Every structure is written in C-alpha cells, then in structure tokens.
Amino acid sequence: MKHEIIDHLFRSHSGKMVSVLTRIFGLSHLEIIEDAVQDTFIKATTKWQAQQPENPEAWLTKAAKNRVLDIFRTLKAEKKHVPDFNYSTNAIAINELFLDTEIEDAQLRMIFTACHPRLDPRDRISFALKTVSGFSIKEIASALLTKEETIKKRLLRARKVIKTEDLKFTIPQGKSLPERLNSVMEVLYLIFNEGFHSNKKEKLIQKELCGEAMRLSQMLLKNKLTRIPSSYALFALMCFHAARLDTKTNADNELLDLKTQDRSKWHFPLVELGNTMMNKAVEQDKFSSYHYEAAIAAEHVRASSFENTNWDKVLYWYQCLHTIQPMPSHVLTMAVICLQIKDYKTAKKHLDQLQPDNFAQRSYLYYGTLADYYTAINNFKKAITNIDLAIDTVNNNLEKEYLQKKRLRLLLE
C-alpha cells in the first residue's frame, strides 16, 4: 500500500470525518476528534500494508463510525459532556449523520466555524485548511510561507476563541448570514489565490490549494442559504483562472505570462462552467468584487489571442472593481493595462500613486511594471534599474528566472 494513496485519502476524507464527529460531539471536543481521525488513518496505514480494501473510503467511513462509539464510551467514562442519546439509538443516529447530504451539511457548518468573524483573520485560513481540508501543520506552513510553530499557535488561538466565546457549530441564518458568508468567501478566495500564484520559493502553482478552494466553493452553491450571486461569481472566477493553470509554465518549468501561454491548451470545459456560473451570478443587479474580477478573467479567456484582448473593457471592469474595493494592486494593474493600450501618460499617473511598500512581499510586481513603463518610453537605463530591484525582491525562482530573461532582452535594446 503506497503512502501516497493514504495521504490522498486523508486529505479528501479527514475533513468530512472531523466535521461529522464535531456535529455529533460538539466543538468543545474538537481536539479529541482530530486525534481520533488521525488514529484511524494510522490504523489504515498499518492494516493496508498487507491488502488494500476494495473501497477505501467505505472502510474509513466504517472506521470513523466505530471511533464515534469509542469516543462516546471514553467521554461517558470520564463524565464529560456528550450528546444526549442512549445506546439503543446510537447506531441509527450515527448512520444518518454519515449520509452524503449530512456530511456536506456538517462540512458547511465547519467552514462557517473556521471563518467566524470572532477569529483573527490570520487564523481563519490556517484553521479552515486544518479542520475542513485535512492539511497537516507542515503543509499549511509551507502553503502560507510561515513557520510550523506559527501555525500551531494560530490553531491553538482559534480553538481557544471557539471555546471561550462558545461559538456554535451552525450555518448562520437571518441578518448574521451575509457578514458570515462574506468572511467565508474571503477565506476561500485567499486559499485559491495562494494556489494560483504562490509566493513559495520553488513552486509557482499549488493545484491542491486551488482544487480545495473550488471544492469548498461548490459546497456553498449546493446549499440554498449560501447560494447567492456573489458565491456564484466567486466560483466563476475560480473556473476562469483554473482553466489556465496548466499553461502557466512550459515543459522546461519556465514561467509563461498571459501573452505567451498556449491558449489551445486552456481547459475550455472550465471556461464554459465559469460562463454558466456567471449567468447565474448576474441574475440580480447588485455586483460584488467577485463579479468584477470574474468579468475581467472572462475577458482574458474569451480573447483568441493576447493582442485581441478587449483592453478597454478590461480597464473598465478594473475601474468598477477599484470603485467598490480600492486597492493598490488594482491601481498597478490599471497602469499595466494603460501600457498595453499605449496610454503612457495615464500609466505614469497610476504608478505615481504607488510605493513598493504597498505590495509587501510582492513589491517586485511594482518594480517590474515600472521597468515596463520605462522600456515603453525608451528609457532603458531606468528600466534596467527597476528590473534589478524586481529581481532582488522576488521570492519565487521561476519568476526570478523570468525577470532575468527580461533583463537580458533589455540589455540588447
């Protein structure tokens, strides 16, 4: 039995198990539950060395059900608070909670718990990846460019808030739902973005993060309470971006920008799914930032070539986006678009509004755009100065190589 299969199953199945067990035993027993789920997978690793079961997921589900009863007996013996159901009804209640629809409901409850506004924003992503998606502490630290010790502290802090604030394992309703749902969508958006454009040194793309964000977004769309225009728009945005994932690098693992990507290799079924989602997203007139970002992404995937991109439309959508959500990154992108349409004066106005500190770890994007501006107006000395600053501040190796090739081309001008 290969450990890769166990790892894959743990990733895809543990979040379901933790969510269902939490629904049965409550958030106060979350640590015990996570330990129990891990024990189940350790048991699987040992048992499956000799022979893998025909249906591994069914085996794990059955093992999880048995673990429920083990935990129940342990907590009873320790006189800790446990759900008020007697042994004669245990099996029925547990079996019902392991139905597919109930598993999805439990996972959705866990997403809302992980993204609760009472939790520190920095802790929400870590907690969601751990409890809902089954990521290990090491994987979370790697994905978020953070030390494992920091992730441990974030998880402890989140659990402490859940206990002290007595947060409920529910899907909020009424007036509290919109704010809570916004928090959930923000976390899913950030998870997807980290996968789509990772800031890791050796790896530009983390498909597992993109896939997980999309899976969780789909869960929002399956529930009538969370199936709203902005959640459709968020999923559409993910579809449009995910369609291009396989073309962001070439066979030699070199970074390819939008201009040089092979558009024939874009995954057009995902584009079509994104279009379907956008049609649902615009059934009402109120548009979120996800609507505008999805509209921008749609313009790129519908263009037959980079040159045929409707840059005026892209610029318009960015202006709409910046109006409702002012951000330095939007101003920078508007500068990039102005360079494409050769409006160098307006591009410089946008750039003059910005400072490298506006972009933290991604300040190389600012310097790279400045280099493009100075290249466009034939000031190659300043272009090289700024491309050097971009190279010095970029973290990802593929992006560094991309910028170094750009510098070589500048030297030949």
- From the list 245, 242, 266, 243, the residue with the least C-alpha distance to 255 is 245
Tell me what pLDDT residue 198 has. 64
The model's pLDDT over 106-155, given as tens digits with 9 standing for 90+, comes to 889 999 999 898 999 889 989 998 888 888 888 788 777 678 899 999 99
Check whether residue 321 and residue 347 sit in a common domain: no
Give domain status of residue 207, yes or no: yes
Check whether residue 290 and residue 371 sit in a common domain: no
Kindly compute the dihedral angle of the four CA atoms of residues 42, 48, 54, 58, in this order, to the nearest 10 degrees.
Answer: -10
Is residue 377 very low, low, confident or very high in pLDDT (cuts 50, 70, 90)?
very high
Check whether residue 76 and residue 159 sit in a common domain: no
Last residue of a domain, one of 98, 133, 158: 98
Average pLDDT over residues 315-325: 96
Last residue of a domain, one of 206, 227, 248: 227
Range of the domain at 258: 236-326
Q: By the 8 A CB rule, do 294 and 275 touch? A: no
pLDDT at 413 over 50: yes
pLDDT averaged over every residue in the chain: 86
Q: By the 8 A CB rule, do 373 and 344 touch? A: yes
Give domain status of residue 105, yes or no: no
Check whether residue 350 and residue 322 sit in a common domain: no
Total tally of structural domains belonging to the chain: 4
Last residue of a domain, one of 295, 326, 357: 326
- Among 26-30, 68-72, 196-200, 222-226, the minimum mean pLDDT is found in 196-200
Average pLDDT over residues 208-221: 90
Check whether residue 197 and residue 124 sit in a common domain: yes
| HEC per residue, 181-211 | HHHHHHHHHHHHHHHHCCCCCCCCCCHHHHH
pTM of the model: 0.82
**Residue 255, strand partner residues:** 249
Check whether residue 88 and residue 35 sit in a common domain: yes
Check whether residue 245 and residue 221 sit in a common domain: no
Give domain status of residue 200, yes or no: yes
Give domain status of residue 257, yes or no: yes
Check whether residue 218 and residue 245 sit in a common domain: no
Give domain status of residue 29, yes or no: yes
Average pLDDT over residues 242-255: 86
Tell me what pLDDT residue 17 has. 84
Check whether residue 50 and residue 91 sit in a common domain: yes
Give domain status of residue 389, yes or no: yes
Give domain status of residue 332, yes or no: no
Check whether residue 65 and residue 138 sit in a common domain: no
- From the list 326, 322, 337, 270, the residue with the least C-alpha distance to 298 is 270
Check whether residue 155 and residue 184 sit in a common domain: yes
